Amino acid sequence: MDIENYFDFLSPDDIRLKGTRVGIESILYEYIYRDRTPEEIVKHFSSITLEQVYATILYYLHNKEAVSKYIADWLEWGHQQRKAQEMNRHPAATRLQKLRDELETKKQANDPQVSHG
């Protein structure tokens, strides 16, 4: 079987495991950055098989340069999305953060084990 038959190539920046909504970046992030084994990864995703995880890793190993760029682009996109969210926070999120900060300040002020200086 051709390794590429395991995937749906929806666009240059969207490669998914065939028959699922799981992108190869999700599998490879677990494998590369979290050092998870294929067996651990398959437990993390309910809609994929161990064979699909191994196929994804094999695809990565055979196309390391292109897939590494694909993952780097995905990570950068995620970073940009988080940055945009922080810059355009919903007012409720801002209020919640303010409350959390106030509670933490009170907790520290009332905790005799917290050093103040």
Q: Which class does domain 3-110 fall in? A: mainly alpha
What's the pLDDT at 117? 52
pLDDT per residue as tens digits for the range 60-98: 999 999 998 988 988 887 887 788 777 777 788 778 888
Give one DSSP letter per residue of 21-32, joined into a string: S-BHHHHHHHHH
- What pTM value is reported for the model? 0.67
pLDDT per residue as tens digits for the range 11-46: 888 999 999 999 999 999 999 999 999 999 999 998
What's the pLDDT at 107? 82
Number of C-beta neighbours around residue 44 at 10 A: 13
